Amino acid sequence: MHNPQLNAAGELTHLLSTDGLPRDVITQILDTASSFLEISDRDVKKVPLLRGKSVFNLFFENSTRTRTTFEIAAKRLSADVINLDVSRSSTAKGETLLDTIDNLVAMHADMFVVRHASSGAPYLITEHLHRVGRTDVHVVNAGDGRHAHPTQGLLDMYTIRHYKKDFSPLTVAIVGDILHSRVARSDIHALTTLGTGEIRAVGPQTLLPSAVESMGVRVCHDLADGLRDADVVIMLRLQNERMNGALLPSAGEYFRCYGLTPAMLALARPDAIVMHPGPMNRGVEIDSGVADGAQAVILPQVTFGIAVRMAVMSILAGN
Q: Using the minimum distance from each CB to its own copies, give the nearer residue, 1 or 44.
A: 44
Task: Give the residue with the Cβ less far from its own copies, 128 or 228.
Answer: 128
| Ordered alpha helix ranges (H), 220-259 | 223-227, 240-243, 251-258
Residues that bind its own copies (CB under 8 A): 40-46, 51-54, 62, 64-65, 68-69, 71-72, 75-76, 80, 82, 84-86, 88-90, 93-96, 99-100, 102-108, 240, 278-282, 299-303, 305-306
Residues annotated in the binding site for L-aspartate, as ranges? 93, 182, 237
Q: Are 89 and 100 in contact (CB under 8 A)?
A: yes
**Shortest distance, position 94 Cβ to its own copies, whole Å:** 6
Please check whether residue 194 is in contact with residue 253, taking contact to mean a CB–CB distance below 8 angstroms. no
Minimum Å gap between C-beta 50 and its own copies is 10
CB of 176 to its own copies, least distance (A): 15
Name the binding residues. Answer: 65-66, 93, 115, 149, 152, 182, 237, 278-279
Complex with its own copies: residue 173 or 238, whichever CB lies closer: 238
DSSP state, 18? S
70 half-sphere exposure, CB direction, 13 A CA radius: 30
- For its own copies, which is the closer residue by CB, 102 or 225? 102
Instruction: Sheet with 171-175: list strands edge to edge.
Output: 218-220, 198-202, 171-175, 232-235, 273-275
C-beta of 196 vs 301, nearer to its own copies? 301
Q: Is there a contact between 49 and 319 (Cβ–Cβ < 8 Å)?
A: yes
The DSSP code sequence of 51-108 is: TT-EEEEEESS--HHHHHHHHHHHHHTT-EEEEE-GGGSGGGGT--HHHHHHHHHHTT
The residue among 125, 162, 152 whose CA lies nearest residue 312 is 152
Tell the smallest beta-carbon distance from residue 192 to its own copies (Å). 28
Closest approach of Cβ 289 to its own copies, in Å? 15
Strands 218-220 and 54-59: unpaired
Query: Closer to its own copies at the Cβ: 121 or 194?
Result: 121
| Shortest CB 198 distance to its own copies, Å | 29
Return d(Cα 80, Cα 83) in angstroms, integer: 10
